[in-house]
Amino acid sequence: MTISYEKFNLKEVINASGKMTILGVSKVSENVLAAQKFGGEHFFEMSELSIQTGAYLAKLLTVEDAQVVSSASAGIAQSVAALIGEGSVYHAYHPYTDKITKREIILPKGHNVDYGTPVEVMVEQGGGQVVEAGYANMCSPEHIETMITDQTAAILYIKSHHTVQKSMLSVEEAATVAKAHKLPLIVDAAAEEDLFKYIEAGADLVIYSGAKAIEGPSAGLVIGKKAYIEWIRLQGKGIGRAMKIGKDNILGFTQAVEDYVKNGSEAGDSMQARLAPFIAALNQINNIEAKSVQDGAGRDIYRASIKVSGEKSAKAVIQELKAESPAIYTREYQANNGIIEFDIRSVNEEEMTKIVTRLTEIMN
Ligand SMILES: *Cc1c(COP(=O)(O)O)cnc(C)c1O
């Protein structure tokens, strides 16, 4: 039996909710699939594959070196382990040894978030001990500075919409503190779109997730200082083994980064053009008023927004959309106001037609 949703008794899913981990985050392009296929069908000297794809990405991103890892989480754990072990093979084999005591990782308190897993868990997996700086609602360069001791191994900064945003020091300010104390600065930019600016801001290691903004397969990327990246590679003999990434995804992800750097993400204009016929079709449905709206945070993202009237509430419609196959997932944040949004970044024309068909059934 060939692969299908039915084979495993799964519902087909249309993801009109955005980049959601619970739905598998991204779909990959034909280009990326071709690279994954080449990876799946051939053998490689694996250590060379790792070094050479890293060198290729480093050149593309104008950084000293890069390493493809299995996820951003693995990137955090292995970066922490690398900066604690500093290239020691003994440490790679005994990552939690008490012969090495310098394990403190300073993290702004407002950055100690749960992105699906607490940041702290990944730091501890790498053998680090989180030392929080500042308070729940603020962290200044001085707050970081006062927590530095001779046991500090690194400073960790989480750049994310999950974190506290107000009264937080910038990446540049964190880099200034790090440099003044000769400490490495790790920036977790897992879901961020800019692959250049945090290195430019002075970070020593920057971590990205493969399937978020980059829209690659399941993977992670660490870029930065050559010596540190080499220490990360050494973790492959230790904790990194449990976070191994396959040759198919190393090649698919590398292709995804290359395409992303060349083409960026889909522009707002293109989304609006794709939305126009979809919105016209939605407006034909009973008790639905549809229009195009820009992202609330002002990003160059456009979505279809529908106002539901009549007997069924927006919440009920959302539930019905998910109930059958295809299960249609939408943005639900404004359901209390009778509004449902469709994010089309991962939705093609055929899927839009399926959404219109299903919604017509539900509203009649
Ligand atoms: C998603 C996310 C991660 C984890 O990325 P994975 O590749 O899924 O491990 C880490 N940090 C932040 C801030 C994230 O948003």
- Tens-place pLDDT, residues 50-82: 999 999 999 999 999 999 999 999 999 999 999
Amino acid at 183: L
- Residue 172 sits in the same domain as residue 212: yes
Q: Is residue 35 part of a domain?
A: no
CB distance 57 to 223 below 8 Å: yes
Q: Of 22, 67, 73, which is best to mutate to test ligand 1, by the most ligand atoms within 8 angstroms of its C-beta?
A: 73
- Residue 329 sits in the same domain as residue 181: no
SS3 state at 67: strand
CA of 311 to the centre of ligand 1 (A): 40
| 72 in contact with ligand 1, CB cutoff 6 A | yes
Q: Is residue 39 part of a domain?
A: no
Q: What is the DSSP string of 162-181?
A: TS--TTB--HHHHHHHHHHT
**Boundary-marking domain end, from 263, 288, 318:** 263
- Residue 169 sits in the same domain as residue 242: yes
Any idea how long the chain is? 364
What is the rounded CA–CA span in Å between residue 235 and residue 221? 15
| 192 in contact with ligand 1, CB cutoff 6 A | no
Closest ligand 1 atom number to CA of residue 189 = 13
Q: What is the DSSP string of 15-52?
A: E-S-S-GGGTS-PPPHHHHHHHHHHHHS---HHHHHHH
Closest ligand 1 atom number to CA of residue 75 = 9
What is the rounded CA–CA span in Å between residue 322 and residue 319? 5
Q: Is residue 1 part of a domain?
A: no
The pLDDT tens digits of the residues spanning 225-235 come to 999 999 999 99
Q: Measured between alpha carbons, how far apart are the two ends of the chain, in Å?
A: 37
Closest ligand 1 atom number to CA of residue 218 = 7
Look at residue 297 and tell me whether its pLDDT is greater than 90: no
Q: Is residue 150 part of a domain?
A: yes
pTM metric for this prediction:
0.91
- Residue 217 sits in the same domain as residue 270: no
The pLDDT tens digits of the residues spanning 246-282 come to 999 999 999 999 999 999 888 999 999 999 999 999 9
Percent over 90 (pLDDT), the chain: 92
Domain count, the chain: 2
Contacts of 306 (CB under 8 A, 6+ apart): 282, 288, 289, 290, 339, 340, 341, 342
Q: Is residue 30 part of a domain?
A: no
- Residue 103 sits in the same domain as residue 231: yes
Q: Is residue 236 part of a domain?
A: yes
CA of 18 to the centre of ligand 1 (A): 15
**Boundary-marking domain end, from 207, 235, 263:** 263
Q: Is residue 34 part of a domain?
A: no
Q: Is residue 235 part of a domain?
A: yes
Structural domain that includes position 55: 44-263
pLDDT for residue 1: 67
**Boundary-marking domain end, from 228, 263, 298:** 263
Average pLDDT on 207-214 reads 94
The CATH number linked to 114 is 3.40.640.10
158, containing H or E segment: strand 152-158
CA of 190 to the centre of ligand 1 (A): 5
The pLDDT tens digits of the residues spanning 190-209 come to 999 999 999 999 999 999 99
Average pLDDT of the residues of the chain: 96
- Residue 212 sits in the same domain as residue 65: yes
- Residue 13 sits in the same domain as residue 58: no
- Residue 15 sits in the same domain as residue 109: no
The CATH number linked to 301 is 3.90.1150.180
| 80 in contact with ligand 1, CB cutoff 6 A | no
- Residue 233 sits in the same domain as residue 272: no
- Residue 94 sits in the same domain as residue 240: yes
- Residue 215 sits in the same domain as residue 281: no
- Residue 191 sits in the same domain as residue 334: no
Closest ligand 1 atom number to CA of residue 210 = 7
